[in-house]
Amino acid sequence: MSNPDVIVVGAGLAGLACTRALVSARLKVLLLDSADAPGGRVRTDAHEGFLLDRGFQVYLTAYPEGRRALELQALGLCRFIPGAKVWRDGRLHPVTDPLRRPVEALSHLFGGPGTFGDKLRVLELRQAVVSGELEDLWQRPERSAWRYLGELGFTEDMLEGFLRPFFAGIFLERELATSSRFLEFVFRMFATGDTVVPERGMGAIPEQLAAKLPSGVLRLHAPVADAWGHRVRLEDGEVIEAKAVVVAADAPGALSLLPGLPPHPMNRATCLYFAAPEPPVRGPWLLLNGEGRGVVNNVAVMSEVSQAYAPPGQALVSVSVVGATPALGSLEARVREELTVWFGGAVSAWRHLRTYVIPNALPAQPPAALEPPRRAVRLSPGLYVCGDHRDNGSIDGALGSGRRAAEAVLMDLGR
């Protein structure tokens, strides 16, 4: 390729969305990534017949940017049950959406974590987040998610038994120090759409975006050492010039290339995968640890959501640990010990497949981080940045920031 009009650094969701928009505007674009495949943090590995997402992730069909950018039907979306099962007091308690599964919800109205009043407060929260325009949520008063939930009047039993592990699995931090604006956004997405994974794993999302790029646009195994307005230098010394450069890396990657950016703390997670002869639970459930102790935050039998995640006759169990990771040498043993209490001696027959330690899983989003809710993507003439750290820490935020960066480039280039 001769010198492109635009160089995009990073083929994660933000970079792919940005590149797609620029290519659609008939610009010549070069998309660079150091990895062997596109996707960034949203990748799926094939391993011994299993599909292993790089960390437990889901897609929410209500995401507005996803509806714009993706062909959702082509992904073969497989749905979770709207709700969860919570491990508490020696058994799993189902907690389901009363508006979408009213019969099941009625059967556990007075059981499981929380009181009858807590169940009503969940409906009040649901009504609050679905009211008004989506954009209005980002202008509401901010406080921490924990304080916000406490102000709504939830009992300690509901807070510790359901709400903390549920939102910890989304925010990837157990203190729930994340902005109440983001809590309201994601709860609205859960309430108004389905929680899904593509049939062939979360990596199918970036694969779909990349497949629509013209030949020669995406260049892999191309780590970038420096980025300026109008040119980049690769680690092998090659310098490529362009009319504009977009850095579409995660927050630490963007900071390494753009030292003027403010540092952005990241939340971390660890995901362990096990092959099991039989699924420990039947059905596409999310399982939450409502005991308030232990390393396990949530569990999902991914082969119960999509059969393609595991070879015939086996089940794939995903276990998520949120926040600081205990010593890896003892982590598997601790997880097995905890889940033996949940599922009994069958856990001893589970075979450990792989552990993913993800130190930069999601941007931390305390209240100040979302003021303003969308940060600038234009840094200087010819130099732009995008990623979920410029928007909100979600797939929707990554896609949206990529689109915004493309629009800024097109405006500056007179397109």
Q: Kindly state whether residues 343 and 224 are assigned to the same domain.
A: no
Within a domain: 99 = no
Q: Kindly state whether residues 259 and 386 are assigned to the same domain.
A: yes
d(CA 55, CA 285): 17
**What backbone phi and psi angles, to 5 degrees, belong to 378?**
-95, 120
Burial 130-162 (b: 16+ CB within 10 A, else e): eeeeeeebbeeebbbbbebbeebebeeebbbbb
Tokens for 166?
Answer: 């549920």
Within a domain: 179 = no
- Sequence-distant (6+) residues with CB within 8 A of 80 are 58, 194, 195, 196, 197, 284, 285, 286, 300, 305
Overall domain count for the chain? 2
Cα→Cα distances 156→18, 94, 118, 145, 325, Å: 44, 18, 10, 15, 26
Q: Kindly state whether residues 288 and 346 are assigned to the same domain.
A: yes
Q: Kindly state whether residues 356 and 307 are assigned to the same domain.
A: yes
Within a domain: 181 = no
Q: Kindly state whether residues 228 and 274 are assigned to the same domain.
A: no
Within a domain: 319 = yes
Q: Kindly state whether residues 335 and 212 are assigned to the same domain.
A: no
**Of 342, 363, 384, which marks where a domain is finished?**
363
Q: Kindly state whether residues 71 and 37 are assigned to the same domain.
A: no
d(CA 260, CA 364): 19
Q: What's the pTM value of the predicted model, to 2 decimals?
A: 0.95
How many helical (H) and strand (E) elements, i.e. helices and strands, does the chain have? 14, 21
What CATH number does the domain containing 258 carry? 3.50.50.60
SS3 347: helix
Q: Kindly state whether residues 354 and 223 are assigned to the same domain.
A: no
Within a domain: 208 = yes
Q: Kindly state whether residues 207 and 329 are assigned to the same domain.
A: no
Report which of 163, 170, 168 is spatially closest to residue 149, judged by C-alpha positions: 163
Q: What is the pLDDT along the chain (415 residues), one digit of tens a residue?
A: 578 999 999 999 999 999 999 999 999 999 999 999 999 999 999 999 999 999 999 999 999 999 999 999 999 999 999 999 999 999 999 988 766 654 454 445 555 788 889 989 999 999 999 999 999 999 999 999 999 999 999 999 999 999 999 999 999 999 999 999 999 999 999 999 999 999 999 999 999 999 999 999 999 999 999 999 899 999 999 999 999 999 999 999 999 999 989 889 999 999 999 999 999 999 999 999 999 999 999 999 999 999 999 999 999 999 999 987 777 789 999 999 999 999 999 999 999 999 999 999 999 999 989 989 999 999 998 999 999 999 999 999 999 999 999 999 999 999 8
Please name the helix (run of DSSP H) or strand (run of DSSP E) that holds residue 341, with its range, or none.
helix 328-343
Q: Is 383 exposed, middle or buried (0-12, 13-18, 19+ CB in 10 A)?
A: middle
Within a domain: 173 = no
Within a domain: 184 = no
**What backbone phi and psi angles, to 5 degrees, belong to 164?**
-65, -50
Q: Kindly state whether residues 254 and 382 are assigned to the same domain.
A: yes
Per-residue three-class SS string for 127-172: HHHHCCCHHHHCCCCCCEHHHHHHHCCCCHHHHHHHHHHHHHHHHC
Name all contacts of 298-304 with Cβ < 8 Å and 24+ positions apart: 298/56, 298/165, 298/169, 299/339, 299/342, 300/56, 300/80, 301/276, 302/51, 302/53, 302/197, 303/279, 304/279
State the residue range of the domain holding 403.
6-42+203-265+375-412
Report which of 382, 394, 400 is spatially closest to residue 6, judged by C-alpha positions: 382
- Sequence-distant (6+) residues with CB within 8 A of 25 are 406, 410, 415
What CATH number does the domain containing 290 carry? 3.90.660.20
Q: Kindly state whether residues 355 and 336 are assigned to the same domain.
A: yes
Within a domain: 241 = yes
Q: Kindly state whether residues 278 and 330 are assigned to the same domain.
A: yes
